[in-house]
């Protein structure tokens, strides 16, 4: 027999939580225990007194599963609220990447030229390498990395997505 | 006035203020400071179990039968891991429970210390919430919040892990202090919105073939919810079915009672669900044991789902109207909205239901050589119903027969492991129930295999002079496993025979219980009488037909309409898709 699969869609969830021990394990563990997907997950405290953290999870699944993810997250006691940015409307998503490219000669020049087009910053350099810092929507980071593959890409670090509603609206 | 108290003393004081009567526990190194406080205490009664799983199940039995939270106290490491099954069981069945676990001192956490286990990690996904308390000043607020979380909203277990040094360390204790809780973060919604109630009332008023599909949530919402359900049924006339967990929320002798639904539910309950034009799910969660094949589940029905847990709504079955709220609250609101509406004439619908009832799906072949297990449960019911007993069960065929043939008239009388399906639940649960209801007749309807899973708790009942009764339907098989092997694996009975059984009568006597064996139908009533007449604990070893199956049955992957009844020809195998279903 075969295991059935369903078509899925990508959602960005902001989860506002009490900044307490074990909360990240609770959230990530919930995803594993119930078989949900995590594409990326970032977390940092965001309030002046360090009491509140904001977790951004990028997930994918069929719409009923996305609804369940939200409901299951809301059930956790330290979770204050869950905002599905994808449902909520226009929003910005940004990600930071550090990308190390090694090489000399034409490839090195081309890497620097493309980096300028992408408005990537050079945050470290030697005569044989660059570390670029790039922020942008995930697909922009993706295409930059794809281009760098041909030009001596040796290492990538990505922060995962953080997102926020556009306009005066707050979450 | 403030003073200093040890963490252990604060814990005991907080438990008292919560009104805790019993703590079910087992001592060990990491909880010695707490046990020393208990030694001097006169208000809390500690019930010493013989295995920590027994402590958790006993707390469940106490909680389920009284509506109050059960409290468990176990040591670190194996104490906590042994309790995990009971915690997971309480989580699945929404039983309010607070579990105090000892932990190695804070400085040793993470060093693989003696009897160290990551209790917080182990219980993360089988508790409603859990805490590791590292600061004794936080203990009081933590315990208060733990009780609030365990008992409100959808009830469930909460674990508080307390390192040994925190139990010993001193913290300020202020007599008046009602430490403010971070309550902003936990506010279960109780009432429905007006719009939801209007919509539900309209759907109910328009329905010509409605069914109330009720579950454990009605029991959890307190006896008032069961009363309101009866009022609502009276007003609408709609027939009522229930899940395993909901039995008792509607009286089994009512003409509009359909019996339990689902895999081993009645023909009329499942047919009514299948043909209904409106299903009102109240505190039930569309479990796979209830729905059968999902694409054939209640195909023509509009569905209203009332549940206090938002995550249950649309989880398995998409519904037309989801209402998040406490069953009692919402039923009361709904009754108010229905006040000026005329109920539909349901006589045609009820006539169809009578037709399904006429199939007599619970009929079974009489036997003259052996006792039919169904007969034994029926006689037990008839001979005890005047005493309004509390029934616990283990898990398996006997559990389903108890659900089918024992009639429950009110809530909190039926204690069974529904969601997790934990063999070994019934005896400790009966102990907890007996403590909470000292004058009640408490009977564990058991199987000879399940009862052995927590058989050590016989000693607990002896120690506290609890007159619990165990009624074993002994068919010398793990009957439900054997039944599935018969139906799906061509009767290859792999490891399901209960070999090397103890002599239960002698075993009972060894523990200071009375033991009774019933071997033929002529002795059935006499045996039950002898059990009831004895004022102490009794094991009845009732030898029943070895090959009886539990019917009706919806086979794996089948629809509600594809029930097997006694006398149906049953195939010996199934395709892989059906076998893969649990």
Task: Give tens-digit pLDDT for A43-84.
Answer: 999 999 999 999 999 999 999 999 999 999 999 999 999 999
Q: Both B330 and B377 in a single domain?
A: no
Confidence of residue B580 (pLDDT cuts 50, 70, 90): confident
Q: Is the pLDDT of residue B574 over 80?
A: no
**Testing the interface with A: which of B127, B153, B185, B324 to mutate, by most A Cβ within 10 A?**
B185
Interface of B with A in 185-244 (CB under 8 A): 185-186
Q: Both B232 and B377 in a single domain?
A: no
Q: Please report whether residue B570 resides in a domain.
A: no
Residue B331 sits in a domain whose CATH number is: 3.40.50.1220
Q: Please report whether residue B464 resides in a domain.
A: yes
Q: Both B171 and B270 in a single domain?
A: no
**What is the DSSP-derived secondary structure letter of residue A18?**
E
Confidence of residue B181 (pLDDT cuts 50, 70, 90): low
Q: Do B313 and A77 touch (CB under 8 A)?
A: no
| Nearest residue of chain B to residue A18 (CA atoms) | B185
Q: What's the confidence (pLDDT) of residue B572? A: 66
Q: Is the pLDDT of residue A2 over 90?
A: no
* Domains of chain A: residue spans and CATH: 9-88 (3.30.70.260), 91-165 (3.30.70.1150)
* A52 touches B: beta carbon within 8 Å: no
Span B491-513, average pLDDT: 97
Q: What's the confidence (pLDDT) of residue B179? A: 58
Based on its alpha-carbon atoms, the radius of gyration of chain A, rounded to whole angstroms, reads 19
Confidence of residue B556 (pLDDT cuts 50, 70, 90): confident
Q: Both B394 and B489 in a single domain?
A: yes
Q: Both B114 and B204 in a single domain?
A: no
Q: Both B131 and B174 in a single domain?
A: yes
Q: Both B236 and B115 in a single domain?
A: no
Q: Please report whether residue B422 resides in a domain.
A: yes
Q: Do B314 and A64 touch (CB under 8 A)?
A: yes
Chain A neighbors of B185, CB-CB under 8 A: 18, 77-80
Classified as helix, coil or strand, B71 is strand
Q: Please report whether residue B32 resides in a domain.
A: yes
| Nearest residue of chain A to residue B153 (CA atoms) | A75
Q: Which of B138, B163, B185 is the last residue of a domain?
A: B185
Q: Is the pLDDT of residue B182 over 60?
A: no
Q: Both B202 and B293 in a single domain?
A: yes
Q: Please report whether residue B449 resides in a domain.
A: yes
Q: Do A68 and B315 touch (CB under 8 A)?
A: yes
Q: Do B313 and A1 touch (CB under 8 A)?
A: no
Residue B466 sits in a domain whose CATH number is: 3.40.50.970
Predicted TM-score (pTM) of the model is 0.95
Which of B432, B561, B551, B518 has the alpha carbon at shortest distance from B86?
B432
Here the ipTM equals 0.90
Q: What's the confidence (pLDDT) of residue B399? A: 98
Q: Please report whether residue B61 resides in a domain.
A: yes
Q: Do B318 and A64 touch (CB under 8 A)?
A: yes
Span B495-521, average pLDDT: 97
- What are B145-159's pLDDT values in tens digits? 999 999 999 999 999
DSSP one-letter string for B280-336: EEES----HHHH-SGGGSSTT-EEEEEES-GGGTTSSS--SEEEES-HHHHHHHHHH
Measured over the CA atoms of residue A140, residue A144, residue A149 and residue A155, the dihedral's sign is negative
Q: Is the pLDDT of residue B183 over 60?
A: no
- What are B325-365's pLDDT values in tens digits? 999 999 999 999 998 888 889 999 999 999 999 999 999 99
- Compute the residue count for chain A: 171
Q: Taking the CB of residue A19, how many other CB atoms lie within 10 A of it?
A: 18
Q: Both B258 and B353 in a single domain?
A: yes
Span B380-399, average pLDDT: 98
**Testing the interface with B: which of A30, A66, A77 to mutate, by most B Cβ within 10 A?**
A77
Q: Please report whether residue B46 resides in a domain.
A: yes
Q: What is the 3-state secondary structure (H, E, C) of B150-214?
A: HHCCCCCEEEEEEEHHHHHCEEEEECCCCCCCCHHHCCCCCCCCHHHHHHHHHHHHHCCCEEEEE
- Mean per-residue pLDDT of chain B: 95
Q: Which of B162, B185, B208 is the last residue of a domain?
A: B185
Query: How many angstroms away from the CA of B102 is the closest CA of chain A?
Result: 18
Chain A neighbors of B121, CB-CB under 8 A: 25
* A3 touches B: beta carbon within 8 Å: no
Domain that holds residue B327: 194-357
- What are B108-134's pLDDT values in tens digits? 999 999 999 999 999 999 999 999 999
Chain B neighbors of A72, CB-CB under 8 A: 311
Exactly one of B13, B52, B60, B196 is catalytic; which is it?
Answer: B52
Q: Both B400 and B514 in a single domain?
A: yes
Instruction: Compute CA B244 distance to the chain's CA centroid, rounded to the nearest angstrom.
Output: 8
Which of B209, B203, B204, B206 has the alpha carbon at shortest distance from B346?
B209
How many domains does one find in chain B? 3
Does the annotation mark B233 as catalytic? no
Q: Please report whether residue B218 resides in a domain.
A: yes
Confidence of residue B570 (pLDDT cuts 50, 70, 90): low
Based on its alpha-carbon atoms, the radius of gyration of chain B, rounded to whole angstroms, reads 24
Q: What's the confidence (pLDDT) of residue B354? A: 97
Q: Both B178 and B203 in a single domain?
A: no
**What is the DSSP-derived secondary structure letter of residue B266?**
-
Confidence of residue B180 (pLDDT cuts 50, 70, 90): low
Q: Both B392 and B524 in a single domain?
A: yes
Separation CA A76–CA A23 (nearest Å): 9
Exactly one of B16, B114, B202, B409 is catalytic; which is it?
Answer: B114
Q: What's the confidence (pLDDT) of residue A169? A: 83
- What are A100-152's pLDDT values in tens digits? 999 999 999 999 999 999 999 999 999 999 999 999 999 999 999 999 999 99
First to last CA, chain A: 45
What percent of chain B shows pLDDT beyond 70?
A: 97
Q: Do B311 and A72 touch (CB under 8 A)?
A: yes
Query: How many angstroms away from the CA of B77 is the closest CA of chain A?
Result: 19
Q: What's the confidence (pLDDT) of residue B177? A: 67
| Nearest residue of chain A to residue B186 (CA atoms) | A77
Chain B neighbors of A79, CB-CB under 8 A: 185
Q: Is there a contact between B309 and A75 (Cβ–Cβ < 8 Å)?
A: yes
Q: What's the confidence (pLDDT) of residue B178? A: 62
Q: Which of B125, B151, B185 is the last residue of a domain?
A: B185
Q: What's the confidence (pLDDT) of residue B550? A: 96
């Amino acid at each position: 027999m075969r295991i059935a699969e369903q078509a899925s869609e990508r959602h960005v969830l902001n989860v506002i939580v009490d900044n307490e021990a074990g909360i990240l394990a609770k959230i990530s563990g919930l995803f594993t225990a119930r078989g949900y997907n995590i594409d990326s997950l970032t977390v940092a405290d965001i309030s002046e007194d360090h009491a509140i953290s904001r977790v951004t999870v990028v997930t994918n699944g069929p719409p009923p599963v996305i609804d369940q993810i939200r409901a299951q997250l809301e059930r956790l006691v330290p979770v204050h609220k869950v905002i599905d940015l994808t449902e909520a409307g226009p929003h910005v998503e940004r990600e930071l990447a550090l990308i190390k490219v090694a090489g000399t000669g034409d490839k090195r020049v081309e890497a620097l030229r493309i980096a300028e087009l992408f408005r990537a910053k050079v945050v470290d350099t030697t005569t044989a390498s660059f570390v670029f810092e790039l922020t942008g929507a995930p697909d922009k980071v993706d295409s930059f990395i794809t281009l760098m593959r041909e030009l001596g890409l040796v290492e990538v670090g990505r922060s995962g997505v953080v997102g926020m509603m556009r306009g005066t609206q707050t979450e | 006035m403030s003073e200093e108290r040890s963490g252990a003393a604060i814990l005991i004081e907080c438990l008292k203020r919560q009104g805790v009567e019993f703590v079910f526990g087992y001592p060990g190194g990491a909880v010695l400071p707490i046990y020393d406080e208990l030694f001097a205490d006169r208000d809390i009664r500690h019930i010493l179990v013989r295995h920590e799983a027994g402590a958790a199940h006993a707390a469940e039995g106490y909680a389920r039968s009284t509506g109050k939270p059960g409290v468990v106290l176990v040591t670190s490491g194996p104490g906590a891991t042994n309790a995990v099954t009971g915690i997971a069981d309480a989580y699945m069945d929404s039983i309010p429970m607070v579990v105090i676990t000892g932990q190695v001192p804070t400085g040793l956490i993470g060093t693989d210390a003696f009897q160290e286990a990551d209790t917080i990690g182990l219980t993360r996904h089988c508790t409603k919430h859990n805490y590791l308390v590292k600061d004794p000043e936080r203990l009081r607020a933590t315990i208060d919040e733990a009780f609030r979380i365990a008992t409100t909203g959808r009830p469930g277990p909460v674990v508080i892990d307390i390192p040994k040094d925190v139990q010993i360390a001193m913290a300020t204790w202020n007599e008046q202090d009602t430490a403010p809780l971070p309550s902003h973060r936990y506010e279960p919604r109780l009432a429905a919105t007006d719009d939801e109630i209007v919509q539900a009332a309209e759907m109910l008023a328009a329905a010509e073939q409605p069914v109330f599909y009720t579950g454990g949530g009605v029991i959890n919402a307190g006896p008032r919810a069961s009363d309101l359900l009866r009022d609502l049924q009276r007003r609408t006339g709609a027939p009522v079915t229930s899940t395993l967990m909901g039995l008792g929320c509607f009286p089994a002798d009512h003409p509009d009672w359909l019996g339990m639904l689902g895999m081993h539910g009645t023909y009329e309950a499942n047919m009514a669900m299948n043909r209904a034009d409106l299903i009102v799910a109240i505190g039930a969660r569309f479990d796979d044991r209830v729905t059968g094949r999902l694409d054939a589940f209640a195909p023509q029905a509009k569905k209203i789902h009332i549940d206090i847990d938002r995550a249950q709504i649309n989880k398995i079955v998409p519904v037309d109207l989801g209402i998040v709220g406490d069953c009692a609250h919402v039923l009361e609101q709904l009754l108010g909205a229905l006040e000026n509406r005329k109920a539909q004439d349901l006589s045609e619908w009820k006539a169809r239901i009578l037709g399904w009832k006429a199939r007599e799906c619970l009929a079974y072949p009489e036997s003259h050589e052996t006792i039919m297990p169904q007969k034994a449960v029926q006689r037990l019911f008839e001979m005890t119903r005047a005493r309004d007993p509390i029934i616990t069960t283990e898990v398996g065929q006997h559990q389903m027969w108890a659900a089918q043939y024992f009639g429950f008239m009110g809530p909190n009388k039926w204690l069974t492991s529904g969601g997790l399906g934990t063999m070994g639940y019934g005896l400790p649960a009966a102990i907890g129930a007996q403590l909470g209801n000292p004058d009640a007749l408490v009977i564990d309807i058991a199987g000879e295999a399940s009862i052995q899973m927590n058989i050590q708790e016989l000693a607990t009942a002896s120690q506290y002079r609890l007159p619990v009764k165990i009624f074993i339907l002994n068919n010398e098989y793990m009957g439900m496993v054997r039944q599935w092997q018969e139906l799906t694996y061509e009767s290859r009975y792999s490891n399901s025979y209960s070999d090397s059984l103890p002599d239960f009568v002698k075993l009972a006597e060894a523990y200071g219980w009375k033991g009774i064996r019933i071997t033929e139908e002529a002795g059935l009533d006499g045996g039950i009488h002898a059990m009831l007449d004895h004022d102490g604990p009794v094991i009845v070893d009732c030898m029943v037909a070895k090959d009886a199956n539990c019917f009706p049955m919806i086979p794996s992957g089948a629809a509600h309409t594809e029930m097997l009844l006694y006398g149906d020809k049953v195939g010996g195998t199934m395709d892989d898709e059906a076998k893969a279903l649990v």
